[in-house]
Amino acid sequence: MRFDIITLFPEFFTAPLNIGLLGKALVKDIAQVHLINPRDYTTDKYRKVDDESYGGGVGMVLKPEPIFAAVESLPNLSQREVILLTPQGERMCQKLFRQLATEYNQLILICGNYEGIDERVNNLVTREVSLGDFVLTGGEIPALALINGVVRLLPGTVGKLESLQHESFESGLLDYPHYTRPANFRGWKVPEVLLSGNHAEIEKWRYQQQIERTKSRRPDLLN
């Protein structure tokens, strides 16, 4: 899968894209990430990418010309989505990540900054996505979260596919509790069922834990 990130701060992505499973996936060419700075597509000597808002108001607005030029410079793969990261978009969720991972081979991510982006940029956009009901300084953090969530679902990123199938939200429930050695830590013991070797009972216990945990922490999911 190809990711094209339209961002004024490409250096923001340098370290996160080179560590952990995400970094390994890029090395193995499971995914490709290209960083595009709109400043490289300005036509004035000051490389100006923002201007004052028509109608007045505080803050600067990102101009449409550099963003259009940046997006139009990219290859147009057969199944692509142009995503604007904005607090006004649909909230990220596991269902969205899985859809993007299975139905598209190119995701163009436009990171907003300052007061906002000229509304005419929406003529490029096919989907608006939000990290949550809050406002950040820019779209870079949501873009990185989306890339991470999508890439880990691509074949070859995670070693064991079963580990993806039992995670939170995959079945509509939260994940069950996990334990490892030692069996007794400061008086807190691992549940006996997990030490029993009875896989049927372990599966039954884990499923019940998922239901109870979801009921107490995210009852909205049960609806």
Question: pLDDT (tens digit, 9 = 90+) per residue, 194-212?
Answer: 999 999 999 999 999 999 9
Domain with CATH 3.40.1280.10 in the chain: 2-151
Q: What gap in Å lies between CA 211 and CA 120, rounded to an integer? A: 45
Number of Cβ within 10 Å of residue 11's Cβ equals 10
The DSSP code for 113 is B
Q: At what angle do helices 20-27 and 140-151 cross, to 10 degrees?
A: 70
Could you identify the residue written with the tokens 């995400």?
22
**CB half-sphere exposure, 13, CA atoms < 13 A:** 31
| CATH 1.10.1270.20 domain locations along the chain | 166-222
Local confidence band at 219 (pLDDT 50, 70, 90 cut-offs): very high
CB neighbourhood size of 58 (10 A): 7
- Residue 57 has a pLDDT of 85
Distance of alpha carbon 40 from alpha carbon 190, whole angstroms:
56
- What's the CA gap between 197 and 194, in Å, rounded? 7
Which pLDDT does position 132 carry in this prediction?
Answer: 95
From the number of C-beta atoms within 10 Å of its C-beta (0-12, 13-18, 19+), residue 121 rates as: buried
Q: What integer is the mean pLDDT of 114-118?
A: 91
Give me the CATH code for the 166-222 domain, please: 1.10.1270.20
CB atoms within 10 A of CB 140: 23
Residue 128 banded pLDDT, cuts 50, 70, 90: very high
Residue 28 corresponds to which tokens in the numbers above? 């193995």
pLDDT at 2: 98
CATH 3.40.1280.10 is right for the domain spanning 2-151: yes
Check the CA dihedral 61-3-123-66 and report its sign: positive
Q: pTM score, two decimals?
A: 0.89
17 CA to centre of own chain: 13
